[in-house]
Structure 1
Amino acid sequence: MMRRQLILAAALCGLLLLGGTAWSGATGGGAPAEEGPGLVRMLDALNLSPAQKRDVAGILKANREAMRALRGTVKAAAQALGATMAKTPGDEAAVRAGARTVAEAAIELAVMRGRVKAAVDAVLTPEQRAKRDTLREALREKIEARRLERQEQLDAWIVGNLS
């Protein structure tokens, strides 16, 4: 049961990071989602009216500090888990506790991102939401292609070193 929870926590974290990146349009450069050039490009691509730009800017500004704090919490929890894994990877209780902390922080971040997305969605027209979704899907595909490429490289390394 605990192993299943750990796997679920790890999967949730991975999905959250992927989903957050896709929502923000971030390219992995480390810029906060609300400030990332990917989000700016996406918003520019949606051809927002001046009123929509003002509304979206207000939503992003109103949520900026809370999002930044939540991202910091997730990052700190992930770093603590990384430190645990580096020092005592065989201590399953400590690893599980660290993974739970990461998962709990990731859940709060996901909820906040959902709130911000819902608020922005309320400002967009159906056509703009559809275009945004298309742009996000293209980004998800690009991220997945990179992930698969890295996995293939690792697989090739493993095979090459097992022969």
Structure 2
Amino acid sequence: MKLRLIVGMALGALLVFSGAAMAKDTAETAQGALVGPGKGFVQLLDSLDLSAAQKHQVAAILKDARDKSQPLRDSLKASFAKLREIMDKTPGDEAAVRQAAKVMSDAAVELAVERGKVKAALDAVLTPEQRSKRDALRAEFKQKFLERKETRHQEIDAWIERNL
């Protein structure tokens, strides 16, 4: 039971950070702290009516974040691959699973800290009104995400009940 809990928590942490871990471009690198992967972040930035100076500052922050976070994303991907490998080959080896999950967790923490720094830097560029609008859009996105997640959980629960 503890093993399932640990693996579940590790995989949950990975899901939280996977958007940044799998990011390939600037927008995907820093946006996880705001709205979610890819195009949505660009749409969010466009909706904030940034001035030309703000756009330049945000672009510089995102470029720097991409460069700094690439090794962290690579580390997270590698640690997740190692955990998957262990789970495929020796899922009952609790010590190995714990160690791999810890390494993955440590990598996720470092990436989260970097993302927090990016969010703080972006907050310093935005006006209070822009931050409020960003926060409202982020809350809307989060609500939709949670609704989709709940639907998936309900589908899994229904499948389990049908097959017990």
Normalising to structure 2: TM-score of the pair?
A: 0.82
Residues 18 and 137 (structure 1 numbering): CA distance in 2 closer, same or farther, change over 3 Å? farther
- The match for 2:105 among 103, 106, 125 is 103
Distance 2:5 2:159 in 1: 29
What residue number does 1:23 align with? 33
After TM superposition, give the deviation of residue 72 of structure 1 in Å: 1.8
Identity across aligned pairs (percent)?
46
Is the 1:24–1:38 Cα contact (8 Å) retained in structure 2?
Answer: no
Once structures 1 and 2 are overlaid, which stretch shifts more, 116-125 or 137-146? Answer: 137-146
Q: 1:82 to 1:103 in 2, by over 3 A?
A: same
Task: After superposing the two structures, state which structure 1 stretch, 51-60 or 143-152, moved more.
Answer: 143-152
Structure 1 unpaired stretches of 5+? 28-35
Q: CA RMSD in A?
A: 2.6
Distance, in Å, in 1 between the alignment partners of 2:80 and 2:15 is 12
Could you say what secondary structure the match of 1:63 adopts? helix
Q: Say if 2:76 and 2:104, in contact at 8 Å, map to a contact too.
A: yes
1 CA distance for matches of 2:49 and 2:96? 49
Distance 1:157 1:101 in 2: 33
**Structure 2: stretches of 5+ with no match in the other structure:** 21-29
Asked whether the equivalents of residues 31 and 41 of structure 2 are also in contact (C-alpha less than 8 Å), the reply is no
Matches within 5 A, 1:42-121: 42-121=44-123
Secondary structure of the structure 1 residue equivalent to 2:158: helix
